[in-house]
């Protein structure tokens, strides 16, 4: 099962968060309950440039065997201690295409799901294509925020700045399909991706939302 956390932290904890982004990986790699993990920074998801970054919100996505055990792990407890709010979603993959850090972490197991759907998109942008990509993003983000059926969406990223993406919640699978395949701005972005080949790695995954705690 997959669990996604997003914490809003106190301003006094920003330095602690930056340090945790560097060191949490070692604890998570040693945790036999965890088979895949990514610590995430967040942003407004408007330009996907460094100016988007939100130093007061951070995230973590992990593939785990035991959700309850992971929820009480030292890593999660440290983030929770310094946060003013927490969002947690328990997710089951519906589909996943592409790779994340050279891996295919999400194995589709959910079938016939008719509830809320979460989506993760992420990409490693070629350095030579950063400025072209940034100039193409705003129309897509504007259309995303006004998309019928969207519950919430935030930008997500890893260091360095060439690793970017979104985490979004939708009322249904049909709503996200309509945005992906019928929206003019998104269709142009897909065409531009084919033309300019600006990703060196990309992933798009959809998940059944089994449980939600808190709000984005």
Which two tokens mark 125? 């942008």
Mean of pLDDT values over 3-7: 98
- DSSP lists the bridge partners of residue 209 as 91
| Mean pLDDT of all residues belonging to the chain | 84
Question: What predicted TM-score, i.e. pTM, was given to this entire model?
Answer: 0.85
> CA-to-CA distance for 182 and 143, rounded, in angstroms?
11
Which two tokens mark 3? 């669990």
The reported pLDDT for the residue numbered 139 is: 47
Residues of the chain with pLDDT > 90, as a percent, come to 55
> CA-to-CA distance for 158 and 65, rounded, in angstroms?
24
Q: Is pLDDT of 116 > 60?
A: yes
Does domain 2-213 fall under CATH 3.30.70.100? My reply is yes
Least confident range of 99-108, 135-144, 164-173: 135-144
Give 202's pLDDT tier (boundaries 50, 70, 90). confident
Give 21-70 pLDDT, tens digit per residue: 989 999 999 999 999 999 999 986 555 556 678 889 999 999 999 999 99
- DSSP lists the bridge partners of residue 124 as 163, 201
Pick the closest to residue 20 from 76, 101, 88, 100 (CA basis).
76
Q: Where are the domains of the chain?
A: 2-213
Mean of pLDDT values over 114-138: 71
The reported pLDDT for the residue numbered 182 is: 67
């Amino acid at each position: 099962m997959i669990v996604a956390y997003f914490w809003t932290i106190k301003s006094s904890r920003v330095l602690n968060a930056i340090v945790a982004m560097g060191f949490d990986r070692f604890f998570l790699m040693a945790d036999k309950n965890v088979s895949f993990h990514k610590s995430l920074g967040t942003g407004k998801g408007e330009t996907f440039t460094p100016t988007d970054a939100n130093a007061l919100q951070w995230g973590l996505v992990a593939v785990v065997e035991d959700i309850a055990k992971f929820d009480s792990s030292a890593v999660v407890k440290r983030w929770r201690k310094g946060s003013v709010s927490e969002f947690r979603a328990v997710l089951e993959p519906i589909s996943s295409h592409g790779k994340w850090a050279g891996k295919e972490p999400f194995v589709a197991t959910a079938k016939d799901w008719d509830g809320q759907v979460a989506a993760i998109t992420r990409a490693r942008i070629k350095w030579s294509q950063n400025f072209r990509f940034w100039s193409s993003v705003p129309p897509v983000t504007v259309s995303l925020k006004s998309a019928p059926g969207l519950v919430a969406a935030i930008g997500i990223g890893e260091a360095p700045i060439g690793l970017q993406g979104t985490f979004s919640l939708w009322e249904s699978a049909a709503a996200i399909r309509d945005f992906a395949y019928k929206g003019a701005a998104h269709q142009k972005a897909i065409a531009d991706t084919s033309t300019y080949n600006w990703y060196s790695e990309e992933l798009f995954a959809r998940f059944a939302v089994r449980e939600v705690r808190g709000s984005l």
